[in-house]
Amino acid sequence: MRAMRWVLLGLVLLLAWLQYRLWFGPGSVGEVAALESQVEHQRRENGGLQERNAALAAEVRDLKEGVDAVEERARSELGMIRPGEVFYRVVEDAAPRRPPQPLEEER
């Protein structure tokens, strides 16, 4: 009977130690959940960066292969025009101003 108690006590202590490691030790449930959250955040960030890289790669390919992309860039960023073209700048008028209304006291 005494040996049975010692075995039972040993098993209870082993269970307590394993539970402690599960909840509070290295690689615990909380730590795993935090790491999974970090991995998901990094995946989302990587996805955005991959899209950005793909767009940049397409732009580089267009600049290397086509004249249209270079011309578009020169027109928009540098304000360049072709020989013989006329440049028109359209400036919109500001909202029409109304004369100031007299105050109630001045009437």
pTM > 0.95: no
Average pLDDT over residues 23-44: 90
Residue ranges making up the domain that contains 33: 2-81
95 within a domain of the structure (yes/no) = no
pLDDT-derived band at 105 (thresholds 50, 70, 90) equals: low
* 43, pLDDT greater than 90: yes
Give 22's contacts (C-beta < 8 A, 6+ positions apart). 28, 29
Average pLDDT over residues 38-67: 92
100 within a domain of the structure (yes/no) = no
96 within a domain of the structure (yes/no) = no
Instruction: Tell me the DSSP string of 59-95.
Output: HHHHHHH-HHHHHHHHHHHH----TT-------PPPP
10 within a domain of the structure (yes/no) = yes
47 within a domain of the structure (yes/no) = yes
Average pLDDT over residues 65-88: 84
102 within a domain of the structure (yes/no) = no
The DSSP call for residue 96 is P
The total of structural domains in the chain comes to: 1
pLDDT-derived band at 90 (thresholds 50, 70, 90) equals: confident
pLDDT of residue 42: 97
101 within a domain of the structure (yes/no) = no
